[in-house]
Structure 1
């Protein structure tokens, strides 16, 4: 069982909930069912699980219920364990196949407060339109992502004192111990290959076999394509969404990494294609990073929703879609290749996992900032991501920091370097993205 930070969220919910069920959403294969199963086995004497995809009979029985008692009886009938008051977690999985249960959970938690209810599913952002009424006040929720880099380090057996050294160096803005720095850099390069999907990570750490890793990653990619065909509104929409999905690697390889609608074909227009982009975002498959007119708090006020970069939800899937040559080059530590797209994808998914809403800024007079993020107290931080040796060339960041109206005190450059502190810019090793926290 991989150690996941999301376990703490479930444990906090169990200790502090009132009459609330918990909903865990996220893309396919990020480890939701495994995590909840482990949570149930660890914290309860009984766990009644129903998978609404594996059990169409249970789905039909739940759909047919009209009262809380009938619903609870239907769950009891198809449960794989005894339901004992005060000792049981009721785990309703793959709820996108039975969306009515989200509406009905309010009546369950009111009528049966002696039981705990956790719901989970994928593609909920796509399927949520079929849910008549989300029970506000009766349903807590959080989104689960692939393993972030720190979780990958846990899986790779990195000792806690090594991770603590990285954390202390980040907080103190000092160089990381050189042996630790080399180890973490090597792990980061491995992470570019594996990404954070639990099944591929397990296979790689157990076998160290690139072919086996790629087979597991291709299986996930193929499942995403199958989901597009199954859940898209029409054949035409499915074809467009698959086209966008397949183009993600080549679009990220462009110099500005912004997705060009013209890549979809002659005559393609944003007003016709926007639903396809949003579908991938709502399904958790893609991560959008929107453009802002000004890198000034609050960033949402200057966001331009039709200018964006579209990253994949997992860098391992991205390198898989790029082909085996990329994997071989990473394994051979080739330094003459531009891995900018891979590095930026890692940072985008790390920021999302840590609770940030990410933006980018581009201005003809200033240049482009790869990422701009804000913290709860209104502080805005520009972030540049450099995969090469010329990481101290950042004219856009220097210009942006010099404009008082933007209110940005310091910037961060993530690169293949140890910690260096400048007058207004911190140069951090790219693996130190794991330390960026929304509430700091």
Structure 2
């Protein structure tokens, strides 16, 4: 990973360090999103002493820690295995790939209570392997969920000054057009982001080379890693179905509704047959489910329908990397539906990724009298916002959104159309450039 990749999660780590009392930190998220790199950078910069153990690679440490009988015994073993002395008050102990020895967490609780050292845990597939971690007493452990690099972080890596996003935020706040030179620059970067995605190694390769071949190789490797994880960690009787669902995601997003058709999975007729398989992919953080709601009314969770969903890859670059390279030329030029293929699924995928990374739980809605709304979200005040995502030039055609806004009994508080355009309001609808999905955000909490 290149040294220039600035991450917002670094500020979250700083907030944990300054705001905690006696709390460990569990950093979760999908594989290959930069967790280990960022924690290592943080530990070396913010502590006088940084101790790191990788339990997947360090067999001696893993076996020794697993044999610990009590907290004091574990601390002794940590001190023996450490590459430098443990100094109370100025040492961060980072235990990576904690899923290889989850019992450590129980013992570390008592060590955290003593307050002598700071502890960070991380690893792969923690949502699957360490679900019981979240049952520990409140106050003992905070959790930081990391995501692939969002569009703003990608822009930082491409050398865009922070003032550019400040100007874009001001335009959104005042509902005024972004200066045209900046709007064109951000749209151009956004099209590149659709191709690279937010996996740090892929972004680093693009920053270094300016070409797509190494990016696509890295994306292919990551998809292969995810398939290997399914083989290694998923229950044996469910692995083949989970792998099939994961492989089907690109083709399912290419259909007109983007909805995942359960019947496309071999020998499956009902959602109930494979609900656990969808949950596994979600908990492994390699896929983002977006569920249907029965009505656009707060709270959206109350009317969620689990059997109807859209399923996205956790990173848009992993999706576009599955396409034939020549077919992605239209993405680079922002052609949307006018290119060699319809990129509606790509645009919805990146919006789902941005919304999720920024604290929202996105849903979608389909009504017999209205049609389909691409996304529904709730802001921190509980207001329901409808988002229509348009990849082509006919973005002012949105009959379903118009009907939903006029439908008696619906409770939609705001409506956005995100497209290849600039900021403009027409009645109840606010048109936004597609990259402004990255500016919609709920307050971050660590």
Shorter-chain TM-score range: over 0.9
Kept in 2, the 8 Å contact 1:297–1:380? The answer is yes
The count of aligned residue pairs is 438
Note closer, same or farther for the CA distance 1:135–1:79 as it changes in structure 2 (3 Å cut).
farther
Shift of 1:86: 1.2
TM-score (norm 1): 0.96
Q: Residue 99 of structure 1 contacts residue 130 of structure 1 at CA under 8 Å; is this kept in 2?
A: no
d(CA) in 1 for partners of 2:377, 2:133: 32
Map 1:288-367; keep pairs closer than 5 Å.
288-331=289-332, 333-335=334-336, 336-337=338-339, 338-367=342-371
List runs of 5+ in structure 1 lacking aligned partners: none
Per the alignment, residue 372 of structure 2 pairs with 368
Measured at CA, do residues 106 and 174 of structure 1 come closer, stay the same or move farther in structure 2, by a change above 3 Å? Answer: same
Residue 263 of structure 1: aligned partner: 264
Give the stretch that moved more between structures: 119-128 or 363-372: 119-128
Q: Secondary structure at the match of 1:418?
A: coil
Counterpart for residue 46 of structure 2: 43
Mapped pair 1:83 → 2:73? no
Deviation (angstroms), 1:332: 5.0
Please tell me whether the aligned partners of residues 52 and 94 of structure 1 are also in contact (alpha carbons under 8 angstroms): yes
Deviation at 1:81, TM superposition (A): 2.8
SS across alignment from 1:254:
coil
- Give yes or no for contact 1:259–1:308 (8 Å, CA) kept in 2: yes
**How much has 1:132 moved relative to structure 2?**
10
Shift of 1:237: 1.1
Tell me if the contact between 2:417 and 2:431 (Cα under 8 Å) persists in the aligned partners: yes
* TM-aligned CA deviation for residue 60 of structure 1: 1.5
- Aligned position for 1:272: 273
Task: Please list every run of 5 or more consecutive structure 2 residues that lacks an aligned counterpart in the other structure.
Answer: none
- 8 A contact 1:409–1:424 mirrored in 2: no
For residues 332 and 316 of structure 2, what CA distance do their matches in structure 1 show? 15
The counterpart of 1:408, out of the listed 408, 412, 418, is 412
Residue among 384, 390, 401 paired with 2:388: 384
Secondary structure of 1:250's match?
helix
Question: In structure 2, do the counterparts of structure 1 residues 142 and 132 end up closer, same or farther at CA, with 3 Å as the change threshold?
Answer: closer
- Do the aligned residues in 2 keep the contact of 1:375 with 1:439 (CA within 8 Å)? no
Residue 103 (structure 1) shift: 2.3
Which range is displaced more, 225-234 or 329-338?
329-338
Q: CA deviation at 1:58?
A: 1.2
CA distance in structure 2 between the partners assigned to 1:395 and 1:186 by the alignment: 29
Deviations 1:190-223 (A, max 9, x none): 0000000000000011101211111111111110
* TM-score, scaled to structure 2: 0.95
Q: Which residue number corresponds to residue 239 of structure 1?
A: 240
List per-residue Cα deviations over 1:271-299 (Å, max 9, x = no partner): 22111111110000000101000110000
1:307 and 1:214 mapped to 2: Cα distance? 31
Secondary structure of the 1:30 match is: coil
Cα deviation, 1:126-166, whole Å, max 9, x if unaligned, reads: 11257696343200002100000011111111012222211
C-alpha distance in 1, partners of 2:134/2:440? 38
**Aligned-pair distance for 1:171?**
0.8
* Structure 2 SS opposite 1:114: coil
Matches within 5 A, 1:22-421: 22-111=25-114, 113-129=115-131, 134-234=136-236, 236-331=237-332, 333-335=334-336, 336-337=338-339, 338-421=342-425
